[in-house]
Amino acid sequence: MTLSRFLSLAFALVLLAPEASAQSASGGLASAGLRVLTDEAGRTHVYHTLPLRPDGGVVVTRESGGILDTLTAEPLAAPVSPSAFVRVAGVEALEALVQDDETPAEAFFRVRTGPVSNRLAAFLSPDVARGLGRLVIDETAPDGATVTYRATRVDADLRPDGEAAEATVTIRRQRPLAPDSLALDHVGRRVTVAWEYPANPLVSGGEDDGVVHFRLYREAGGEMVPVDGGPAILRVDNQTAYSTVITLASPEETAAVAVAAVDAMAQEARTETARYQPLAAEPPPPLDGIGANARREDGADVVDVTWPVSVVSDAAGYWVLRAERINGPYERLNAEPLAVLETVYIDRPEPGAYFYAVVVVDEMGNESRQSGAVAATVEDTTPPSAVTNLSAEPLADGSVRIAWTAPQAADYEGALVLRRRVAADGGPYNGGEADVQLNAEPTPEASWLDTGETGALEEGAFYRYAVVARDTSSLSADTAAVVLQLPDRTPPAPPTDLAALVDDASRQTVLRWQASASRDVGRYIVYRDSEPLAEVSDVALSFRDTTALTAVRYTYAVAAVDTLANEGPRSEPLAFARPDPDPPRPVYNLRARLDRDVTVLTWPAVPAEDLAHYVVESSSIPTGVFQAVGEPLTQTTLRVPTDFGPWFRVRAVDTSGNEGAPSEAVRARR
């Protein structure tokens, strides 16, 4: 039992210091503040209620047969801290001081500094009393002896300061009697436990029986265990009849109860267990006069359900029921029955038409028949939430699957799906296109397959898909949208009419072609001799080959690449060599030497990248007509029969057919 329970009744002050004579024939309280009780084991408990000094304590002595014994090795002193209290009394004793939401430390300092609570707490248990410096146990007092106990308050130097209490008692072992006449009665699930207990003999001049409170026991798991919680059942010295109330969990529960009397020395005596099975009762009659009114509250729709108070004496509460049809099914709106005097329930349903009823429940859990139903309609003025997790996925067959998470609302009807072509940045395409609604009615499903039936889906194009949630009141949510680019699986067509020419100014090769017929071309790749040479934009329909060598024949082709990097077939190939307009330079240092019956001609090579061959010519006179000697040759020496000549000259010819000026004519000599 906690201190909060022990202090819950004002008459607990009876335990402090009732008026009694300073000398008594048995254990009791002296008027100055001593209470002396001897337990069944022969240990005499001496309690004092003297105010404790912060710098001293209380010395307790016993005088018997002219012999004075000091019972306190050290003066009884108030503990200075929770840890000091625990060292003497233990942790459980400290926890017994706690009230409500206090910490153990807060409880300790409250009891230590409160004069009344400090004295009362001593009767919680002997451990608490010892911890608070208010109890000394005399284990050597002889049975039947008449002894005088004295409590003297002293200062730090053990000098008495004038505060003292004394009591003369005859040592008799005692144990509390068990309560008598235990009886159980009920009203509904409430069981009244009643018993009798004799008045304290101390009231009429007899011995103090030491009983301070009663402890209630209930059956749990086949055993009788103390009931913790609720106010303490305190013993009043001049009272003989006691009662308390317990509540059963259900009408089917059997009440098994016992009551124990507990004295200040923590001794207790318990009654036999009494059992009671509550009888079934007639259910309460149904209610009339139910009302239901829909209204606005703080921007939301609510329904006030009202009913009259049940006139049944054991009514315990009400269930409030709701259904979407007058014949049900009905559901309970409150998790626990409403209190008997609580006759209004505020419901916050989704928009719609509803029927309400009320059921009365009594203390035994019996329920009345359902009341007549009343109707209330909540108008829908709130649009549904927008869909979430919207996604658009292109499929291999060219269709698009749109999926989303629908709002969790009772009145959600479905969603409309719309499509519009947009630019790559999501902006208007081709001046702006209108949305195309893909489904004529809202779909309750959370996905839609766009097969392009409402308009062709173009590969590589960007489309904006929008989904709008709609409820049964035709209210629409905010639009959720996602932009998707369809994959381009078809490569573009090749460019046409590839042609080549030589730029007159730069003498470089220039290629030109006609654009691909595909609409999604992103660039062109120019190939030379089957190798990529360059890339140009989709609007650049020409290319200048700055690295082509003069008079070298190359094979050109051009391929289109779309915006998704699909490369189409190449154009028809074009072979082209850029001609050289400049002839090679003349041959210098031509030499002609007669060697028996041949003339040996030699000359230095002409340095030209596009040199094709040499032509050797002869004439009989230096200014005559020169005729070619044999076939063109690529080497720089030639043996000519002496039938030719004797004058010779040589021309260089390039790959473009340009002939250089003839060399100076020379005469063959030995």
Residue 479 contacts residue 468 (beta carbons within 8 Å): yes
Transcribe 579-646 into DSSP letters.
PP-SPPPPP-S-EEEEETTEEEEE-PPP--TTEEEEEEEEESSTTS--EE-SS-BSSSEEEEETTS-S
Q: Which residues contact 635 (CB under 8 A, 6 or more apart)?
A: 614
Residue 415's nearest CA partner among 388, 453, 446 is 446
Query: Domains (ranges, CATH) in the chain?
Result: 3-170 (no CATH), 180-276 (2.60.40.10), 291-378 (2.60.40.10), 388-485 (2.60.40.10), 496-577 (2.60.40.10), 591-667 (2.60.40.10)
In terms of average pLDDT, the best of 357-366, 421-430, 525-534 is 525-534
Least Cα distance to 467 among 553, 373, 402, 561 occurs for: 402
What is the side-by-side order of every strand in the sheet holding 352-362?
Answer: 331-332, 315-323, 352-362, 374-378
Q: For residue 664, what are its two tokens?
A: 């100076």
pLDDT greater than 80 at residue 29 = no
Percent of the chain residues past pLDDT 70, beyond the cut = 93
Q: What is the mean pLDDT of residues 468-484?
A: 92
Please give the average per-residue pLDDT across 237-246, as a whole number.
93
Instruction: Find out whether 410 and 416 touch, Cβ atoms under 8 Å.
Output: no
Q: Are 176 and 263 within 8 A, CB to CB?
A: yes
- pLDDT of 32 reads 53
Phi, psi of 318 (to 5 degrees): -140, 145
- As separate numbers, helices (DSSP H) first and strands (DSSP E) second, the chain gives 6, 46
Reference 406, options 358, 444, 354, 369; nearest CA is 444
Which amino acid would we find at residue 223?
Answer: E
> φ, ψ for residue 107 (rounded to 5)?
-65, -40
Torsion sign, CA atoms 325, 328, 332, 337: positive
- 51: tokens are 């105010």
220 strand-pairing partners: 223
The owner of tokens 């072979």 is: 575
User: Token pair for residue 368?
Assistant: 């009345």
Q: Which residue has the tokens 């940045």?
A: 425
User: Which of 469, 298, 283 is closest to 359 using CA atoms?
Assistant: 283
- DSSP assignment letter at 87: H
- Rounded to a whole number, what is the distance in angstroms from the first to the last CA of the chain? 149
Tens-digit pLDDT profile for residues 606-664: 998 889 999 999 999 999 999 999 999 999 999 999 888 899 999 999 888 889 999 99
Closest CA to 501 of 560, 539, 544: 544
What pLDDT digit, counting tens, does each position of 566-612 carry?
999 999 999 998 887 889 999 999 999 998 889 999 999 999 888 99
Q: What is the DSSP letter of 368?
A: P
- The whole-model pTM stands at 0.44
Using one digit for the tens of pLDDT, what is the confidence trace for 51-75? 988 899 999 999 998 999 999 999 9
- State the pLDDT at residue 298: 86
pLDDT at 474: 87
Report the alpha-carbon angle 643-648-651, nearest 5.
Answer: 130
pLDDT in tens, 268-287: 999 999 988 766 567 899 99
The residue among 622, 614, 615, 616 whose CA lies nearest residue 647 is 622
Q: Residue 532: beta bridge partners?
A: 527
Cis preceding linkage at 54, omega within 30: no
What pLDDT is recorded for position 279?
A: 62
Q: Which helix (H) or strand (E) holds 129?
A: helix 126-131
Distance CA 664, CA 428 (A): 77
- In 15-171, where do the E strands start and end? 29-30, 34-38, 44-48, 57-64, 67-70, 135-138, 146-154, 160-170
Three-state SS at 118: helix
34 and 149 Cβ atoms separated by less than 8 Å: yes
User: 118-165, pLDDT tens digit by residue?
Assistant: 877 888 789 999 999 999 999 999 999 999 999 999 999 999 998 999
Average pLDDT over the chain, rounded to an integer: 88
Of 27-36, 293-302, 398-407, the one with minimum mean pLDDT is 27-36
How far is the C-alpha of 454 from the C-alpha of 467, rounded, in Å?
A: 16
Q: Are 365 and 317 in contact (CB under 8 A)?
A: no
As a whole number of angstroms, the distance between CA 421 and CA 644 comes to 85
Q: What is the pLDDT of residue 118?
A: 80
pLDDT of the residue at 487: 83
Cα gap 500→510, rounded to integer Å = 6
Q: Could you give the CA distance from residue 102 to residue 92 in angstroms, rounded to a whole number?
A: 15
In sequence order, the β-bridge partners of residue 311 are: none
| CA–CA gap between residue 339 and residue 44 (Å, rounded) | 52
| Residue 266 to residue 210: CA distance in whole angstroms | 10
Q: How far apart are CA 614 and CA 623, in angstroms?
A: 21
